[in-house]
Structure formats: structure tokens, C-alpha cells
Amino acid sequence: MATAAIGTILLTMVASQNVTTSMLIYGDDLDATTAAVMAAGGDVTHELGIIGAVAADLTANERSTLEAQGLEMRSNRSVGVAGVSKSKKIKINKISKADDREWKKAEQKTKKLAKEWEKAAEEAVKAAEKAEKEAEKRRDRAAREQAKQAKEEAKSWERTLKEWNKEWAKDAFLRGTKPTFFPDLITTHDVHDANVTGEGVTIAIIDTGLMTDVGLRQGGKGRSRILSSYDARTDHELRWSEIVRGNDDNGHGSHVAAVAVSSRKIRGQHNGMAPDANLVAVKAFGESGEGTYADVIRGLDYILQNQERFNIRVVNLSFSAEPQSFYWDDPINQAVMRLWQAGIVVVASAGNTGPEAMTIGVPGNVPYVITVGAMTDNYTPEDRSDDRLTFFTAAGTTFEGFVKPDFVAPGGHIRGVMPKYGHIARMYPQFHDGGNYFAMSGTSQSSAVVTGLVALMLQANPDLTPDQVKYRLQVASRPAVDKQGELVFSIFQQGAGLVDAYRAVFPQAADGQANMGLDIDADIEGTAHFRGRANQDAAGNYYLEGLDGFMWNDGFMWNDGFMWSDSLTETMSINTWVPQQ
């Protein structure tokens, strides 16, 4: 009996020694690190040159062997796309029902408008016929000329109505396209009307893959625009035959891409932010929306290595993980800073863990990058007075005292294409219209809005650096204030406010640079790190050092009739940061 028990204990000990854990191992030389891991018996799964590390499956003994050699290690943590969590399913269902009501209202409004136009056309025809009869009766040349003009006007009304109805039927019913509303919330269609549509700029998106959809595959001018599709989990660059079949078994990646670049149209207006931008799709998350640090970092490495090949100017990161270290010590953040250093604009979601303070996730807590929170039109896109922050958007300050998010963008009940066979659509069928569209809320969507906007900015001004892009976006944003001009949301909740596309693409003020006082080269090399000016007083209030009166405060509505004063814009955009000791 005792012998059997001892044997069981020994077998358990041997089994535990053989259990492996995925780790990220840093070294001065990638090849030497790989060789050391293999010599210790570890299984190398990823080479992550962007951060000078490898990922490997190691037993406890193998970890001890490598640690004894002075190699630094981090856990290969899990990370997920920034979708609204299951814990908020009740609120999600409310959003879905309200969204359905909103679509029905929009459809009714459209039908009402069509009837009004039809009535106007009929009245114009009757007026023309009456004028013609009167002219003949009086044999008046001038009257006949007026009657002729009235008749032409009536025909014009009829042609307009016919074309409008034809366009509506083709877009809304035959192709399943529906209004997305969010481009108009931030004046994007005014930018499109100026022939700025993202043409020539490549967006990279790290997410769950891409479905096959004409609005994603083709730009607004009908040209193919997917330059590459890469699976970071298997280290495989897809062939075109694989790309057109689609590889998004979750749906999140397709939805994010649609917000940023969809070229589908309704009533002559694009459904996406940058309909002519090119696209590089990187799949780092599986069917459930979960991924690993190693897969995400390999995806970031792919983007860096192919920056010039595809002219990648901006990358969208609609995922989030809970910070467990200083921003500069996190492996994903280290890779993200490399992209920013290389001249790629990085747009990250703030995360959906709000609304409490200090809930900004990785990589949104990187001070250099553009971090986006979410607002909603409250289901009334035509009424701006009731707009507000979403209930889930994460808030700052960051642990190191930086103001985040940098600003906010539409992120409530956002319509975008999504495969109905995907995991999200199957989990939440009430969101899906049964055809192409899914209504989804999250900072994933708000960051995608800004990613598309950055593509518009870079088409109009190709020489902008990431710091200049961030500065322009901050200056172009407008905060939520009350009728007295007081903030109704803290700057740690809304940053510089709601971004404005037209003001960002066509700025009125002189250019400046964000991140002044920071040194990304020193940060990456580890010779200097930084902290922001945000702090917390004895009563628990958050404030900015040197700016009295700017504390965390509650609010409930939006008013875009007010803007930052010049002094506050200057402070927000080119703050002086201090070294982290």
C-alpha cells in the first residue's frame, strides 16, 4: 500500500516536470538565444526579431537552465480582441433592440421623403400642364416659354425621383447595404467629397482575419486592394485563392476592416472611412477571439518587415490585455513602439473595461501611440445633443500618469459586414441582419474609425510623421462640455474630445508634434523611460500637475459647439513629460 502510494507520488512528480509553459526568452543575439533554448531541450515556436526574443515551450527544469545562463523571460500571456464582454450581454441586447428600432425609423423616414418627392413631381407636372393650357388660350409667347420651362422642371423632378429610387433599391435591398451613420458623425463624407478616400495608403489590421466581401476586397473604384493576408499563428502568407475564400471564423476582424475601409455605398455615400485604402490583413486571433502575445508580436514583426513592400502607413490594433508591468516592459508594447519608431502610425483601442479610472489596456497604455475611446450617438444620428460616452469605454490615467484615451470616436452600435457563420454572429444572432451586416459596439470599432481617418490624412498629406498625425487629430478634436463651457467628461475619459475628420485632414492651424519631451529611441534601448503629468491627490481625485481644476468628473451629454482654448490645446498636444526614475 505504502509502495503504491510512493509510486503514485513519483509518477506525479515526473509528470509535473514534463509540463511545459510557453515563454518569451530575450537575448542579445536571436540565433544564440534560439540555440540556447534548443540546447536546454526547449521547443522554439516563434522567432520574434522585432523584440529580440523567441517564444518556446519549456519545462520547469529547462527554464531554470536558461535563467542560470542569464536569459530574461516573460510569460506568453493570452490576449483578446476588444469586443464587448459576455458579462455585459444584457446591455448588448438592449443596444441590439434599440439599433433595430433606429434602422426602422431611418427606413420610415426614407419612405416618407420618397413620397414627398413623388408629390412634388406630380404637382410640378400639373403646374406645367396648366401653364401650357393658359399660354395656348392667351396665345402669349412669354407664357408659352414659361410653360416650357415648367415642363422641363417637371421632367427633371421625375428623372431625379426615378434615379433616387433606383439607387436606393439597388443598394439597400439587392446588395443588402445599409446606412452606417458613423462617417457623418465626424464629417467624413465632407472629406470624401473633396476626393480624399485613402487611395495609395495601406492599412494593416491585426485581428481575426477577413471574410470574402466585395466591399473589403475591392476599393471604391473597383480595384483589388488586399495586398496580403498573413496568418501569424501558422507563419503563413495566404495565396490569392485562399484570400478570396476568407479566413475569418470569428467575425471581429471583418467588422473592424469594414469600419475602416468598406467601399460599399448607399445613396451615393461610402459605408467605410477610407474606401480606397489598400489592406494588409494579419490573423493573430482564433475562432473565440483569443490569441497569444507570441502570435500578436509575430504579426507586428511581419508588418515591420513588410512596411516598404506594401507601403504600410498605419496599423489598427483592436485588442486589449490587462497591463501587468510598466508600459516599456510589456513585450507587445515593445513591438508596438518599434512600429512607431519606424514611421508607422499605430492606432489602438482603449479597451472595453471602463468606465472606471485606470482601466486602459495594453497596447493602448503606450504613451506614443494613438489610443481611442468610444462615444455613441445614442441611436439618434441626426440629433447631436444627446451624444455621450459609451458605458464600457476604458478610461485613464495610465499607471505611469499619461492622459488616455487621446480622444474618442464613434463606437456604439456600429454597422459593418460580418460573416453570419462566424463565432460572434452565432453567439449573438440578434445583432445580425441575416445578410451581411452586424451591429457591434466597442472601442475596437472606434479605433477602426480613426485608423481609416489616418489613411485619409496620409493621402492628403503623405509626408506626415506619426507624431504629426497624432497632433493634428488632438487639435481637431472637440470636447464634451455643458452650456457654460465646463467639461462634462474628464479628460481622462474623453481625452481631447470627439475627433473631427475634416478638421484633421484639412487643418486650419500650423502643424505641431505630439509626444514632445519623450524619446522613443531611448525608451526602446532602455536608457530612459517616462511618466506623464497625471496624478492622484489624497482624496483620490485625478488631476494634471500644473493645471488646476482639471479633475475626474461625471457628465451626461455632448455639445460640439465648444472647443479647447488655445492654451489647453497646446498643453494636451505637446505636453512636457518627465523622466521616470
The pLDDT tens digits of the residues spanning 458-508 come to 999 999 999 999 999 999 998 887 777 777 788 888 998 999 999 999 998
Q: pLDDT value at position 308? A: 97
Residue 477 burial by CB count (10 A; 0-12/13-18/19+): exposed, middle or buried? buried
- What is the percent of the chain with per-residue pLDDT over 70, rounded to a whole number? 77
pLDDT at position 116 is 67
Which pLDDT score is estimated for 165?
A: 54
401-428 pLDDT, tens digit each:
999 999 999 999 898 999 988 999 999 8
- Assign 107 a pLDDT band (cuts: 50, 70, 90): low
Say which residue, 8 or 334, is predicted with more confidence: 334
Q: What is the pLDDT of residues 6-62, one digit of tens each?
A: 655 545 554 456 789 999 999 989 999 999 999 999 999 999 999 999 999 999 999
Residue 91 has pLDDT above 60, yes or no: no
Highest mean pLDDT among 16-30, 306-320, 378-392, 523-537 belongs to 306-320
Average pLDDT score over residue span 56-75: 94
Would you say residue 341 has pLDDT above 50?
yes
Residue 207 annotated in active site: yes
Is residue 118 over pLDDT 60? Answer: yes
Q: In angstroms, rounded to a whole number, what is the distance separating the alpha carbons of residues 90 and 87?
A: 8
Mean pLDDT of 280-297: 96
Burial 122-132 (b: 16+ CB within 10 A, else e): eebbeebeebb
Query: Which grid coordinates are listed for 66?
Result: 536558461
**Grid cell 534560439 — which residue?**
34
Query: Could you say which of 96, 228, 444, 490 is catalytic?
Result: 444
> Chain-centre distance of CA 240, in angstroms?
26
Q: How far apart are CA 437 and CA 177, in angstroms?
A: 8
Q: Which of these is catalytic: 213, 229, 231, 252? A: 252
Mean pLDDT of the chain: 82
Q: Does 373 score more than 80 pLDDT?
A: yes
**Among 145-154, 438-447, 567-576, which range has the highest average pLDDT?**
438-447
pLDDT at 167: 47
pLDDT of residue 560: 33
Active-site annotation holder among 96, 171, 192, 207: 207
What pLDDT was estimated at residue 436? 85
Q: Which pLDDT band, with edges at 50, 70 and 90, does 450 fall under?
A: very high
What is the H or E stretch that residue 204 is in? strand 202-207
Q: How much is the pLDDT for 581? A: 29
Contact 564, 513 (CB under 8 A): no
Specify the higher pLDDT residue, 184 or 383. Answer: 184
Please give the full DSSP string across 236-269, using - where no structure is assigned.
Answer: EEPPHHHHHH---SSSHHHHHHHHHH---EETTE
Which of 291, 271, 274, 216 lies closest to 246 in space, CA to CA? 216
Does the active-site annotation cover 43?
no
Mean pLDDT (whole number) for 516-537: 90
Percent of the chain's residues with pLDDT above 90: 53
More confident residue, 3 or 563: 3
| Confidence band, pLDDT 50/70/90 cuts, at residue 559 | very low
Contact 413, 375 (CB under 8 A): no
Amino acid 3: pLDDT: 60
Closest listed residue to residue 337, CA positions, set 316, 296, 364, 366? 366
Distance CA 480, CA 554 (A): 11
pTM recorded for the entire structure: 0.80
Is the per-residue pLDDT at 255 higher than 70?
Answer: yes
Q: Active site includes 432?
A: no
The β-bridge partners of 544 are 534, 547
